[in-house]
A and B are shown apart, each in its own frame.
Chain A
Amino acid sequence: MKTASQSLARRLETPAGMLPRAFLVAAALLVFVTYLFPLWNMTMFAPQYPQGLRLHIYSYKLDGGNGGQDVHEINVLNHYIGMHDLVSADFTEFKWIPFVLGALALLFLRAAVHGELGHVLDMVVLFLYFSLFSLWSFGYKLYRYGHDLAPTAAVKVQPFMPPMLGRRQLANFEVTSTPGPASYVLGLMALLLVVALVLAWRGSRKPAPELS
């Protein structure tokens, strides 16, 4: 008697069609696009900064508006409240995120070649895990910056959580945090993977052609 799990296992071994595979290849290629744009943008407006100070967080680096000068400016301001300097070296994410993205791209290509439904499912799960872990890591980083304040700071502020998404008023600053283009590319990749999975799943309902 076939158990459900055996049936599922067999189904997962069904080869995916050409379209789901093409989607996997497309997702792999999109990985390179994510390097070109920031994952996240933070904009800070204050009366003294009518043009705003801008942070651009890439998968591998921290950049600022005004030719990078805004990072220095944010650090100068943050030292008054005892916040750690924002320096790329403190972000382990800048090392492992590009590595993991590269590894994911390779796995996508591998899944495209092997082309079984199960591989596509693996990719969706892995990608979901990567995305959620990265988001948590980003949030935790923000939490630490807002909470590990030097006790000797000139200006004592209540530990705070900078906004991850949306707008918040912090002292004289209106801080807005929004996903950058690279995050939308990651979203597009996720969409491609899910569509690939759905297509592959549907395709697997047809009986596989018997090999004689």
Chain B
Amino acid sequence: MKSHTKTLLLWALALVLVPGVIAWSCAPSAPHGANRPAAVSDIALAAQKTYVAPGDLDEYYLFASGGHSGNVYVYGVPSMRHLATIPVYTPYPATGYGFDDDTRKMLGGLTWGDVHHPSLSETKGDYDGRWLFVNDMNGRVARVDLRDFKTRQILGPIPNVSGNHGSAFVTPNTEYSMMATRFSIPIPKGTVAPVEDYASRYKGVVVAVKINPTSGEMSLGWEILMPPFNYDLGDAGKLASDGWMFWTSYNSERATGQLEVTSAQRDRDYIAAVDWHKAEKAIADGLGDTIGGVKVLDPKKVPDMVYLMPCGKSPHGVDVSPDGKYIVGSGKLQGVTTVFNFEKIQTAIRNKDFSGDEDGIPVLRYESIKDAEVPVGLGPLHTQFGPDGYAYTSLFVDSAIAKWKLGTWEVVDKVPMSYSIGHLSAAEGDTVSPDGKYLVGLNKLSHGRHLSVGPSQPESSQLVDISEEKMKLLYDAFTEPEPHYAQMIKADKLHPIEVYPKEENHHPLAVWDVKDAGVTRQGDKVIAKVVAVRSTLWPTSINVQKGDTVTVAITNIEQTTDELHGFGLLDYNINVVVDPGETKTFTFKADKEGVFPYYCTNFCSALHQEMQGYLIVNVR
């Protein structure tokens, strides 16, 4: 090769390599923007604030929704320790939930639910620590009794409501738990209409589920027919705005198909404002039509009951300030959150200051009811409140929390969240008297901020200190899938029992003495009354005939805390756990002959392993 050709080649190589190396070394390994730090914390401060010494108790309970696990998870704050799982819509063998007759009946054949929004019962707008209501997307709502942390009622599926997302928000004195349709359908359920007729023949509803003020028992109240929007989140008015209920809605385009595009065309969607006292009165006046077995009000026939407030497009959260004067709506595709003034809303209604209507429902003029557009950041979703006039808004897109002041609308602080925060839950942060102190960001992504557990990654919930001017990240907790909203209540507001008192057990099949345990028969129906006590299940054998319908009633006669007993029956898919002082029954058909061991599944004592017996299914 000639030397000048060689030189040329070398130059050419250098021309490619040098810019390549320069370009490669210029690719940033970390973001440049100083406003995008990863979520970090002051370790000494965080450790001190979150460390709850062994044997010490947390200050708050956090009731976190478990999403499509169908459960509610209970955490202690500030330690973020998982304390208990409350199964609601899903069988849970750990507590025998969904295996005994009562809970199986309550589940109604469904084995999953999607829990998004727990709602603690309130008196005068403050948590009273009595019940927790939780929604299920399958049109149901459940009540957890906080006396024993057990699901006591599941109501539904409620007629006409389809995809119960906007639930289970309670009114300030727990008069109602409110629900709303997410996926409009032709109603009543079972009606078929082509999806092309969506805009006219598909309907949404909002539902008021009545709550008995002393027992907490829920019953079907009334519904209001709504345009086919997707109703999302809700919050009840309080103090100044008591008597009103607010729901965000998206897809005011009434679009179908690829909704992520088709429903995001208009600049504004709506917050629906419902005067529920007016609705109550209309129902009392007999103005409801029966649809699907429930009284449904049509806003066309009952004017002055429902109004629409234009809000930034595709809003998620709507949150009423502690004094009830402001309604904060967060358009999740915007960079601002919108604050409406309840007084201005009332004035606009009085002056009929409308900018249009949707199916006869007046649309209030945006400019007349809005107080501020607060530049909180990108993707505002949900707002909670502190005791000192501050509001905290989660920012999904920015992956952060913004702190801002009601009245001055000034954004004073931001803290990054890891990553993509959805809801947030401040200590009693949606009541008339928020506590401040702690806030938990319920994040959608954890992106490896934990030991790897494979592709199915846990969600992350981050504890933030909001006791001072600057928010401080304290702790990463990896919560069971999938926390949506949560409620944080001061621990001293709850007074759970630790055993079921014997004198309160009125179960007809309860037996309290091992001498009374045994098997009785009526035709082919067999009842086995079982006593569970350390460390024997009495009787120690149960004889039945093949084909019998067998009811086993287990009474745990212990009155000692934490002495739970289980009854696992092999090959018959049964496991029931009975708490001290409790009686549970399960019924099954003895359709397999043979000998089937049963045993105590919940470790109880030194001789727990000996706590067993045999079900003998004889051939006739």
Contact = CB atoms under 8 A, between A and B. Distances in A.
Interface of A: 69, 72-73, 76, 80, 154-155
A139 B534 CA distance: 29
Contacts of A69: 559-560
Among B533, B534, B559, B606, chain A packs the most CB atoms within 10 A around the CB of B559
A77 to B, nearest CB: 8
A67 B443 CA distance: 46
Interface string B514-558: 000000000000000000011100000000000000000000001
A76 B607 contact: no
A80 B610 CA distance: 12
A73 B560 contact: yes
Contacts of B559: 69, 72-73
A154 B607 contact: yes
Highest count of chain B CB atoms <10 Å: which of A72, A73, A76, A80: A76
Interface of B: 533-535, 558-560, 606-607, 610
B586 to A, nearest CB: 25
A172 to B, nearest CB: 10
Contacts of B610: 154
A80 B533 contact: no
Given A69-B560, A76-B558, 11 more contacts: A69-B559, A72-B559, A72-B560, A76-B533, A76-B560, A80-B535, A80-B606, A80-B607, A154-B607, A154-B610, A155-B606
Contacts of B560: 69, 72-73, 76
A59 B396 CA distance: 71
Nearest to A77: B534
Nearest to B558: A76
A80 B534 CA distance: 9
A173 to B, nearest CB: 14
- Residue with the highest number of chain B CB atoms closer than 10 Å, among A69, A80, A154, A155: A69
A14 to B, nearest CB: 59
Contacts of B558: 76
A44 to B, nearest CB: 13
Contacts of A154: 607, 610
Nearest to A48: B562
Q: Chain A interface secondary structure, helix, strand, loop or mixed?
A: helix
Contacts of A80: 535, 606-607
Nearest to B610: A154
Contacts of A72: 559-560
B229 to A, nearest CB: 56
16 contacts: A69-B559, A69-B560, A72-B559, A72-B560, A73-B559, A73-B560, A76-B533, A76-B534, A76-B558, A76-B560, A80-B535, A80-B606, A80-B607, A154-B607, A154-B610, A155-B606
A86 B607 CA distance: 21
A69 B557 CA distance: 11
Nearest to A72: B559
A155 B607 CA distance: 10
Contacts of B607: 80, 154
Contacts of B606: 80, 155
B562 to A, nearest CB: 9
A30 to B, nearest CB: 35
Contacts of A76: 533-534, 558, 560
B53 to A, nearest CB: 15
Nearest to B562: A48
A72 B561 CA distance: 12
Contacts of A155: 606
A69 B607 CA distance: 21
Nearest to B607: A154
A73 B562 CA distance: 12
A154 B609 CA distance: 13
A154 B533 CA distance: 15
A69 B533 CA distance: 14
Contacts of B533: 76
A158 B26 CA distance: 82
A66 B560 CA distance: 9
A155 B605 CA distance: 13
A155 B606 CA distance: 10
Nearest to A69: B559
A73 B434 CA distance: 43
A82 to B, nearest CB: 13
A163 B70 CA distance: 54
Contacts of A73: 559-560
A58 B607 CA distance: 33
A72 B534 CA distance: 11
A91 B560 CA distance: 25
A54 B422 CA distance: 51
A72 B580 CA distance: 13
Contacts of B534: 76
B125 to A, nearest CB: 36
A154 B605 CA distance: 13
Nearest to B580: A69
A185 B534 CA distance: 39
